[in-house]
């Protein structure tokens, strides 16, 4: 796939009047398709890039973290629902990109539930003795903001 880099607006926009130097806000993230039109409609100058398969996959996975942070930071029910939808949309896009079927997910969900259970008991694990167990999840620091430290 060809990489396309666009500097400035697609229609050749310029620095807004009254400014002598362009101020840049850096995002360095995957954006949805219609965001470019919104940038054009505002007359903003920008730089975008069409990602190849490998870069798209990496940025799509990074988007999960970004949307999860938005979900955690949501202050109202409406914000929470919007961020939750954004996260689900990214997950659906990952499913499509990786060709994961609903049937595959249902089966692994069943297997994982049999193996690990659910969250009905709301159990929070602070620590265990070290038996050499390795996790692929992010290592947590000691303590938790909302819970008593041992």
Tens of pLDDT, residues 105-123? 999 999 999 999 999 999 9
Residue 63: is it exposed, middle or buried by C-beta count within 10 angstroms (0-12/13-18/19+)? buried
100 and 61 in a common domain? yes
**Residue 138 belongs to some domain of the structure:** no
Total domain count for the chain?
A: 2
Q: What is residue 137's predicted lDDT score, i.e. its pLDDT?
A: 74
Nearest to 29 by CA among 41, 47, 53, 4: 47
Is residue 141 in a domain?
no
- 71, part of any domain: yes
Q: Which residues contact 66 (CB under 8 A, 6 or more apart)?
A: 29
Model-wide pTM > 0.85:
no
Residue 139: pLDDT band by 50, 70, 90 thresholds?
Answer: low
Q: Which domain holds residue 109?
A: 53-116
* Residue 79 counted as domain residue: yes
pLDDT computed for residue 11 by the predictor = 47
Q: What is the predicted pLDDT for the residue at 150?
A: 53
Same domain assignment for residues 61 and 24: no
> Quick one: 111 and 64 in the same domain?
yes
> Is residue 31 one of the residues assigned to a domain?
yes
């Amino acid at each position: 796939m060809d990489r396309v880099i666009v500097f400035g607006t697609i229609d050749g926009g310029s620095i807004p009047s009254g400014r002598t130097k362009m101020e840049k806000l850096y995002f360095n993230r995957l954006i949805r398709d219609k965001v470019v039109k919104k940038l054009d409609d505002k007359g903003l100058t920008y730089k975008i890039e069409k990602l190849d398969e490998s870069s798209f996959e990496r940025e799509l996975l990074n988007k999960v973290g970004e949307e999860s942070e938005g979900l955690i930071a949501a202050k109202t029910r409406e914000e929470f629902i919007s961020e939750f939808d954004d996260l689900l949309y990214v997950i659906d896009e990952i499913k499509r990109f990786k060709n994961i079927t609903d049937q595959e997910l249902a089966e692994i969900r069943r297997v994982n539930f049999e193996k690990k259970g659910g969250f009905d008991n709301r159990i929070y694990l602070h620590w265990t003795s070290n038996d050499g167990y390795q996790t692929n999840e992010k290592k947590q620091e000691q303590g938790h903001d909302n819970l008593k430290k041992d």
